[in-house]
Structure 1
Amino acid sequence: MTSTSRVRTVLVLAVLVLVVVGTVPVAVAAQSESRSGGTVVVEAGETVDELEAFAGTVIIEGTVTGDVSAVAGSVQIDGAVGGDVEAAAGSVQIDGSVDGDVEAAAGSLEITDEATIGGDLSVGAGSVLIDGTLEGDAKIGAETIQLGDDASIAGDLRYGGSLEGNTDAVAGEITEDSSIGIDLTGTAVPIASWLFSAYVLALNLLLGAALLALFPRFSDGIADRVATDPLRAGLTGFALLVGIPVLLVAAAITVIGIPFAVVGAFGFALLIWIGIIYGRYAVAAWLLSLVGVDNRWLALVVGLVAGAVLAQLPVLGGLLNLLVFLLGLGALGFGLYAHRRQVREQESHGESGPGGPTAD
């Protein structure tokens, strides 16, 4: 491997480490900060002034003396929160204590029998289960609202949806209001979706920029493949998408093959990620070339932004992104195969092969 190739390899690894940092667990320092990552954790015994988190999972096992604001796939509160909690998530579960109010837009909300909420509760969700103590009023909009045997609501309950269970747990008045669910979920959930898309877009731009900077000719070759032979690229992408998982499952059947299957699964996930980026870049480069624009950086930005916007469209957006991904995955497969064949030819002639996908 030449010195240039070694430098490229180090740069690739460094960029991948920076990108992956956004997907690994992040422990929160004992201060008021905004944190993002695959998992944001306030560890048991740890104290944080305030917490603003955007992550796949937010877990609070320690203490937050102030407010908590979270946008996540799931939010788990096992510790203590001294202020208010605002959450937009797929699921929210409270096992600990919250001294202030709780406002949530979620697929599901569960307040267990060990939980205590000192303020009011405002929720818009698919399902709500309350089995803990609520010292204020409750305003809940959900398809199903279940009050457990250990539930205790000191104030009033206004709800929209189907109320079931221990209604004697409500000390105040119970009022049905069908408009509550619309009011609470109409804004928070779309905002959460767009924030998550912005986070993914930033990671895609970082990795895409690294690929174009380190392997410009290889990247141009993928764009050319998509533009000149989209049918073959798409069919190849489909074959890879179906065939590689089958091979991994077959390898995992044997004890010897399990480690290879595990490593292969991580490699396949990375291949999919790169295929998505290259697909969007290649299609955007082709469309820009139709109007006489030839700029790989502009194509990267336009392609990734357009893909993120399409992801917000139901059905049609998903289908278009799938097609673009298959084009990128297939062209990437062709490019890697061509590179491997070139390396073998050079080795057969006694030449040293390049250290990356292309000798740019």
Structure 2
Amino acid sequence: MGAKSDGIGRRGSRQRTNRRRLLRMGTILLVGLLIAGTVALPVSAQTDEAGGSVVVEEGETVENVNAFAGHVVVRGTVTGDVSAMAGNVRIAEGGSVEGDLQAFAGNVEIAGTVGGDVSAAGGNLLIADSGSIGEDLEAGAGTATIDGEIGGNADIGADTITLGANASIGGDLSYSGDLQGNQDAVAGSISEDASVGPDVGPTLGPLASWLFALYALVLNLLLGAILLALFPRFSRHVADRVSTAPLRSGLVGLAVLIVVPILLVAIAITVVGIPITILGLFVFALVCWIAVVYGWFAIAAWALSALGVESAWLALVVGLVGGALLSQLPIVGGLVTFLVLLLGLGALSMGLYRHRRGRRESGPRQTTLAGPE
């Protein structure tokens, strides 16, 4: 009877464990879907795009495009402006941007038409023979090839600037670098000026900064959800350690942040140690990321607890959203994020150390107790 009861108890325990695992995985998937839906709605409602490839298809018309992506391609019509930071930005033949184009990319190609100004910075710039710019061009690139039409002035800074046979510049050309090709294409004057180049930073900077912050928030929420779902007790212990011993956590975090890279560099002195160092740096970067998530989570958990609210999931969302907003503050944001990293890294390191020591100390006892069975 006792053996039968033990068997039923073990089966019940396994079922409860399986249910908890399913609940955790379901929670992770649900949080992921909710986050994905939250991110997708503003993208479709506005004309801001982030991630993958952003394409305005042939026959499609949009008002403006603000993009941070791998590729940005305009085959249709943009009635306003295009601001893009991407691996490649291309205004395809037949594509039209009626306003201004501001691009920071590895490759910028204009084979269609841009009605306003173009400000571009990248590795390569190409104005194809089918391409045209209605007003001025301001560009900085490794190589710049102009074989299309520019209605106004052109300020180009590049190692090599080539004016093709079909090039046409209606105003003046100011350049820095090696100018080659069809200089008769310039209707106005040609002058060398070492200061020329694009000024895309003020426009693209805030856009890129907030898009990076959005990406970081989404990834942090997903990582935090996984940590809370899979390791709820350990996560609470890390948060408790930050709130009860913040100074000690910060000092331990600072020590770890200094000592670990030094050890990894020392290991890299030998040829055999280089792969170990590379792997170690990757793991350490992952640990630092987890530490930042735990740090914001711990601070929010402490603040909510002071208000009488005990909810780990609410603390995760409040902490990470608040952290994302604070990180955008000039100077102060970076300093606060660094302090949060130290708190989280110290608490996480102490938690891992105590967990490892506890398992090592409990190992022999568990073996001894298991023997008689």
Q: TM-score range by the shorter chain?
A: 0.5 to 0.7
Residue of structure 2 equivalent to 1:75: 87
d(CA) in 2 for partners of 1:276, 1:260: 24
Q: Which amino acid aligns with 1:283?
A: I
Whether 1:190 aligns to 2:193 is: no
Unaligned runs of 5+ in 1: 23-33, 43-47, 353-360
Q: Which amino acid aligns with 1:171?
A: V
d(CA) in 2 for partners of 1:235, 1:149: 54
SS at match of 2:132: coil
Contact kept in structure 1, 2:89 and 2:103, CA below 8 Å: no
Whether 1:291 aligns to 2:307 is: yes
d(CA) in 2 for partners of 1:335, 1:133: 63
Residue of structure 2 equivalent to 1:301: 317
Give the counterpart of 1:98 among 108, 111, 123: 111
d(CA) in 2 for partners of 1:231, 1:268: 22
Question: Shift of the alpha carbon at 1:77?
Answer: 5.3
Question: Shift of the alpha carbon at 1:271?
Answer: 0.8
d(CA) in 2 for partners of 1:252, 1:286: 40
SS at match of 1:253: coil
Whether 1:236 aligns to 2:252 is: yes
Contact kept in structure 2, 1:139 and 1:158, CA below 8 Å: yes
Contact kept in structure 2, 1:118 and 1:134, CA below 8 Å: yes
Q: Classify 1:134/1:216 alpha carbon distance in 2 versus 1 (closer, same or farther; 3 Å).
A: same
Whether 1:316 aligns to 2:328 is: no
Give the counterpart of 1:266 among 241, 260, 282: 282
Q: Which moved more, 1:164-173 or 1:305-314?
A: 164-173
Q: Classify 1:97/1:268 alpha carbon distance in 2 versus 1 (closer, same or farther; 3 Å).
A: same
SS at match of 1:294: coil
Give the counterpart of 1:171 among 183, 186, 194: 186
d(CA) in 2 for partners of 1:286, 1:139: 59
Q: Which amino acid aligns with 1:76?
A: N
Q: Which protein has the larger Cα radius of gyration, Structure 1 or Structure 2? A: 2
Contact kept in structure 1, 2:143 and 2:161, CA below 8 Å: no
TM-score (norm 1): 0.68
Unaligned runs of 5+ in 2: 1-12, 37-47, 192-196, 369-373
Contact kept in structure 2, 1:125 and 1:185, CA below 8 Å: no
Residue of structure 2 equivalent to 1:199: 215
Residue of structure 1 equivalent to 2:147: 133
TM-score (norm 2): 0.66
d(CA) in 1 for partners of 2:138, 2:366: 68
Question: Shift of the alpha carbon at 1:229?
Answer: 1.0
Residue of structure 1 equivalent to 2:243: 227
Question: Shift of the alpha carbon at 1:275?
Answer: 1.0
Question: Shift of the alpha carbon at 1:87?
Answer: 6.8
Structure 1 vs Structure 2: percent identity of aligned residues?
39
d(CA) in 1 for partners of 2:119, 2:110: 19
Question: Shift of the alpha carbon at 1:292?
Answer: 3.1
Question: Shift of the alpha carbon at 1:99?
Answer: 2.0
Whether 1:331 aligns to 2:314 is: no
SS at match of 2:366: coil
Whether 1:277 aligns to 2:293 is: yes
Question: Shift of the alpha carbon at 1:329?
Answer: 1.2
d(CA) in 2 for partners of 1:41, 1:58: 6
Residue of structure 1 equivalent to 2:162: 150
SS at match of 2:113: coil
Higher relative contact order (CA 8 A, sep 6+): 1
Contact kept in structure 2, 1:66 and 1:81, CA below 8 Å: no
Question: Shift of the alpha carbon at 1:206?
Answer: 1.4
Contact kept in structure 2, 1:157 and 1:170, CA below 8 Å: no
SS at match of 2:87: strand
Contact kept in structure 2, 1:88 and 1:192, CA below 8 Å: no
Q: Classify 1:307/1:125 alpha carbon distance in 2 versus 1 (closer, same or farther; 3 Å).
A: farther
Q: Which moved more, 1:196-205 or 1:289-298?
A: 289-298
**More helix, by proportion:** 2
d(CA) in 2 for partners of 1:58, 1:129: 19
Q: Classify 1:194/1:149 alpha carbon distance in 2 versus 1 (closer, same or farther; 3 Å).
A: closer
d(CA) in 1 for partners of 2:324, 2:317: 11
Q: Classify 1:123/1:257 alpha carbon distance in 2 versus 1 (closer, same or farther; 3 Å).
A: same
Q: Which moved more, 1:227-236 or 1:254-263?
A: 254-263
